[in-house]
Amino acid sequence: MNLKVFIINAFAKTSKGGNPAGVVLNADNLSVKDMKKTASILGLSETAFVMKSDCADFKVRFFTPNNEVDLCGHATIGTFSVLLNEGCISVGCYTQETKAGVLKVEVKADASIMMEQNKPKFYETVDKKEIAKSLNIKHSDIVEDLPIQIVSTGLRDIIIPIKNIKILDEIKPSIDQVAEISRKYDVGGYHIFTLDSSRKEDAYCRNFAPLYGINEESATGTSNGALACYLYKHKKFRNKDFVFEQGYAMNMQSEILVILNVVGDEITAVKVGGKALNLISKEINL
């Protein structure tokens, strides 16, 4: 069977930046085996499969090269960019049915996409020595006045504060140890960041998810949604709009926008978005 697939770079800050996602439209007749094989052939961090839904405008399933995940931010941005480019949708608001729930997606006039994520859930903190060892850094390279904490806006991640960009850029993690700790805490991976003031953006990030076959990812929507909530909760920012950089260590410059709705001191909504560039299509043989 020949299958048409799209590849598009989500959260791209430059023409060479962003995080490539695979997108398959009209995927209702594909089996789980077909979807897993497609994701494996493409070899991208995530591939999205778009189907009809009984409770939303679209149903979308997300697969890494070796697993299905409940939600993927960059693949959602890629999916709705492809739908817009192919004339399936126009500017406006839509809903997508995912394994993380039915979530809203806004398509803006400038072709940027903003997706709703779940309200944040804050879980346990993790020992800094355990994390430092797996990242091959010193305990003192981690920020003292912020916790290492598991946070989710759809997917659980370990949020890790690093003192400066130099340390963060030079990190060479033990991939096996990161995968082992991710499995231990039932998380997607590590989202490490710095608030180093030498950058104009709010935070500079890297993401490691080897448990899902992704040693490093250049732009991660769900993790950055969780990061914005973490920073707001721990009072590092009182603003509600964030701009995060990611992918620079991979020479794939990415920019992720996050908007929080806050009532009182409670985060009531999380939106993550950006633009997608460099759309291509090709056929693969299943």
Active site residues: 46
Check if the beta carbon of residue 178 is closer than 8 Å to that of residue 137.
no
Q: Which two tokens stand for residue 282?
A: 């090709």
Q: Which runs of consecutive H residues, i.e. helices, occur in the chain?
A: 32-42, 73-85, 128-135, 165-170, 175-185, 221-233
Check if the beta carbon of residue 98 is closer than 8 Å to that of residue 62.
yes
In angstroms, the CA 12 to CA 207 distance is 16
Among positive and negative, which fits the CA dihedral 52, 58, 63, 68? negative
SS3 246: strand
In angstroms, the CA 38 to CA 56 distance is 24
Count the neighbouring beta carbons within 10 Å of the beta carbon of residue 223.
Answer: 33
In angstroms, the CA 10 to CA 247 distance is 12
Count the neighbouring beta carbons within 10 Å of the beta carbon of residue 74.
Answer: 36
Element holding 34 (H helix, E strand): helix 32-42
Count, residues in the chain: 286
